[in-house]
Each structure stands twice: as structure tokens, then as C-alpha cells.
């Protein structure tokens, strides 16, 4: 199945878009992450055009009634990258995302798929593939309507969501 751009996928969502993240590190090459690690990032949005676009897409989608939920399964103590993600997530929430955090120890017993994913309108799954360092793998986006994949991803997301802590209440330990 050909994969549209993420902007097109979110733009075509009618009711919901849910995202499950399970890695402790993403894109160490991200200049904003490097600036944050050096203490030089004082504005999470700043002049990051990609992040500004993301926030606009979220705002547009939620403005037309699409519920966007993101859940993160994280190791504790959190990695630098997860602490960075927490730092920038206030902007995501302000744009309309609902975000929750689940310490990995509390995820035991939840059947989880092997990859991060998005589910759009409970019918379409976007599987995300990363390399071992957290960079997007070649052909990193895979789209499927496979009912077994959809069922696993939907049930995994909802189980994580139920156990997870709302963003406003979650504080990294490090």
C-alpha cells in the first residue's frame, strides 16, 4: 500500500488519531535535541520549522474535531531523549494533543506490538520503523489495514492509555 505523507494522513482523519511510542531514544541527530542537551534550547518550538508544522497539523486536526492521543511507554529513570520529549510535549498539548506516560514496569502484561505506530479512525495503521539508534529506517513508514495488526495496535494503545499518567501529572525522575 503506498504511504501518503503524514500531513495527508492526519489531514484525512475524521475522528481520531492515536500514537504509541515505546522507544527510549529517537533521532539523536535532531538539532533541537542537541541544543536542549547543551542547555541552549529555551523555547521548545523556537525556529524549528518541522515542529511548527507538526503543531499546525495537530491544531488543524483537533480544530475540526479529531481527537489526538499519544501514549509513551518509558524506562525509569528516563533517558535524555525522553526527558527532552517531556520538555517539548507542553507545546504538543497546547496544540491539542492529549499525552500520557507509562513507566515501562507498569506495562508488564500488556501485549505490545514490536514497533511504534499510529492508528487513524480505528481503521488504518501506520507502523513506524527505526534503526537501533532511533533514526528512521529506510522505508520507515508502513501502512496497513490488516485486521489482526489493527486489533493488536488498538488494544495495546487502549491498555497503555488506561494505565498511563496524564502529561500534566508526569514528571521525569532524572
Over the stretch 101-150, which tens digit does the pLDDT of each residue have? 999 999 999 999 999 999 999 999 999 999 999 999 999 999 999 999 99
Q: Is residue 159 part of a domain?
A: yes
Residue-range definition of the domain harbouring residue 164 = 6-38+47-169
- CATH code assigned at 149: 3.30.870.10
The total domain count for the chain is 1
Residue 15, in any domain of the structure: yes
pLDDT tens-place string over residues 11-49? 999 999 999 999 999 998 888 999 899 988 888 887 788
DSSP for 43-87, please give it. SSSTT-HHHHHHHHHHHHHHHTT-EEEEEEEE-SSPPHHHHHHHH
Give residue 1's pLDDT: 58
Over residues 103-114, the pLDDT tens digits come to 999 999 999 999
Under 8 Å between Cβ of 29 and 80: no
Cα–Cα distances (Å) from 62 to 16, 39, 72, 113, 135, in that order, read 9, 32, 20, 27, 28
Residue 1, domain member (yes or no): no
Does the residue 95 lie in any domain? Answer: yes
**Over 70: is that where the pLDDT of 174 sits?**
no
Q: Is residue 174 part of a domain?
A: no
pTM: 0.95
| Cell numbers at 17, concatenated | 488519531
Q: How confident is the model at residue 3 (pLDDT cuts 50, 70, 90)?
A: confident
Amino acid at each position: 500500500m503506498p504511504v501518503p505523507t503524514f500531513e495527508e494522513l492526519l489531514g484525512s482523519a475524521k475522528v481520531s488519531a492515536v500514537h504509541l511510542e515505546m522507544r527510549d531514544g529517537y533521532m539523536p541527530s535532531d538539532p533541537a535535541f542537541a541544543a536542549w542537551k547543551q542547555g541552549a534550547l529555551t523555547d521548545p518550538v523556537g525556529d524549528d520549522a518541522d515542529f511548527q508544522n507538526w503543531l499546525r497539523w495537530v491544531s488543524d486536526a483537533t480544530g475540526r474535531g479529531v481527537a489526538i492521543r499519544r501514549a509513551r511507554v518509558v524506562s525509569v529513570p528516563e533517558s535524555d531523549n525522553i526527558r527532552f520529549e517531556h520538555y517539548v510535549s507542553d507545546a504538543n498539548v497546547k496544540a491539542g494533543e492529549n499525552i500520557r506516560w507509562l513507566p515501562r514496569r507498569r506495562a508488564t502484561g500488556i501485549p505490545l506490538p514490536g514497533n511504534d505506530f499510529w492508528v487513524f479512525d480505528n481503521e488504518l495503521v501506520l507502523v513506524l520503523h527505526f534503526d537501533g539508534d532511533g533514526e528512521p529506517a529506510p522505508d520507515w513508514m508502513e501502512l496497513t489495514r490488516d485486521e489482526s495488526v489493527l486489533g493488536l495496535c488498538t488494544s495495546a494503545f487502549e491498555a497503555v492509555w488506561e494505565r498511563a499518567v496524564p502529561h500534566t501529572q508526569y514528571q521525569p525522575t532524572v
